[in-house]
């Protein structure tokens, strides 16, 4: 009998380029599969990207993503779908502590800066790149880290750097950061997922 694959749930809120890089990486993988995608927005680019690959999409509205929420709807979905690991890929909502605790050590995030720099409340997407450029940083990069109840604070698994060029714009920096993310995030998730099989 075939061994059970490690089943991943991707949580995303926006364009979903990381989500797609991950799905594409595991499309024919013998030990890891993307089971589903969860989104906290009714409309987002990530739906089209997931549908193209036949990944089931679940919209879960904002009531679930509040401090004090039991997270039960998400936890039931994860249990019913046999999800082993959660991967945040541009997911911009608060994650209830019950979910973080249930998946402790098995929930990771990617952040578009070299944490602990440019992390915390309000620091996401283009806000990060704007702040990096405004502060005339010479380098920026990406951080893949464990998720804890404290925002952008979990143990760092991997970082990669890129230069911030003299004529950099938030858009040009975002493009290079995305390239780094797509290159490394699927590979790191694979290393983590292989620990389960
Ligand atoms: C990515 O750059 C990711 O690092 C960032 O949002 C972008 C999502 O892009 N995440 C955060 O800022 C989390 N604090 P995508 O939707 O194309 O994957």
Task: Write out pLDDT tens, residues 49-96.
Answer: 999 999 999 999 999 999 999 999 999 999 999 999 999 999 999 999
13 Cα nearest atom in ligand 1: 16
The closest alpha carbon to 11, from 139, 138, 107, belongs to 107
Instruction: Using alpha carbons, select from 164, 119, 122, 163 the residue that is nearest to residue 143.
Output: 119
Q: Hey, which residues does 110 pair with through a beta bridge?
A: 144
Share of the chain above pLDDT 70, in %: 99
Whether residue 1 has pLDDT greater than 60: no
**For range 136-149, the mean pLDDT:** 98
User: Could you give all domains of the chain from N- to C-terminal order, each with its CATH number?
Assistant: 6-196 (3.40.50.170)
124 CB under 6 A from ligand 1? yes
Alpha helices for 103-169 (secondary structure H): 125-134
Taking each helix axis as running N to C, give the angle between helix 45-52 and helix 17-25, from 0 to 180 degrees, rounded to the nearest 10.
20
Q: Is the CB of 125 under 6 A from ligand 1?
A: yes
Provide the pLDDT confidence category of residue 3 given band limits of 50, 70 and 90: confident
Q: pLDDT class for 197, splitting at 50, 70, 90?
A: confident
Per-residue pLDDT averaged across 124-143, rounded?
98
The CA distance from 164 to 70, in Å, is: 41
- Please say if the pLDDT value at position 140 is more than 80: yes
Q: How far apart are CA 91 and CA 189, in angstroms?
A: 16
Ligand 1 within 6 A of 15 CB?
A: yes
pLDDT for 191 equals 98
- For the Cβ of 111 lying below 6 angstroms from any atom of ligand 1, the answer is yes
**Dist. CA 181 → ligand 1 center (Å):** 9
Torsion of CA 107, 95, 150, 127, to 10 degrees: 100
Average pLDDT over residues 172-187: 98
Q: Which of 1-15, 89-103, 127-141 has the lowest mean pLDDT?
A: 1-15
Please tell me the distance between residue 125's alpha carbon and the centre of ligand 1 in angstroms: 5
From the CA of 152, give the closest atom in ligand 1: 14
Q: Are strands 156-163 and 32-39 parallel, antiparallel or unpaired?
A: unpaired
Peptide bond into 81 cis (omega under 30): no
Which one from 25, 101, 111, 184 is the annotated catalytic residue?
Answer: 111
111 catalytic? Reply is yes
Distance 1 CA to ligand 1 centre (A): 38
Question: Is residue 13 lining ligand 1, measured as CB closer than 6 Å?
Answer: no
DSSP lists the bridge partners of residue 144 as 110, 158
* pLDDT given for residue 2 in this prediction: 63
Report the 10 Å Cβ neighbour count for 52.
Answer: 11
């Amino acid at each position: 009998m075939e061994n059970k694959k490690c089943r991943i749930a991707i949580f995303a809120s926006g364009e979903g380029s990381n989500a797609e890089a991950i799905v594409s990486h595991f499309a024919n993988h013998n030990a890891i599969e993307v089971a589903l995608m969860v989104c906290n927005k009714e409309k987002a680019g990530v739906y089209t990207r997931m549908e193209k690959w036949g990944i089931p999409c679940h919209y879960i509205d904002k009531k679930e993503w509040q401090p004090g929420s039991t997270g039960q709807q998400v936890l039931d979905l994860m249990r019913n779908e046999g999800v082993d690991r959660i991967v945040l890929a541009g997911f911009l909502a608060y994650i209830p502590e019950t979910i973080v605790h249930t998946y402790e050590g098995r929930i990771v995030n990617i952040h578009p800066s070299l944490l602990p720099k440019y992390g915390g409340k309000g620091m996401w997407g283009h806000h990060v790149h704007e702040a990096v450029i405004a502060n005339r940083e010479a380098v920026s990069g990406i951080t893949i880290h464990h998720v804890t109840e404290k925002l952008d604070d979990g143990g760092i698994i991997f970082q990669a750097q890129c230069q911030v060029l003299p004529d950099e714009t938030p858009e040009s920096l975002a493009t290079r950061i995305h390239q780094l993310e797509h290159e490394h995030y699927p590979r790191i998730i694979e290393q983590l997922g292989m620990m389960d099989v």
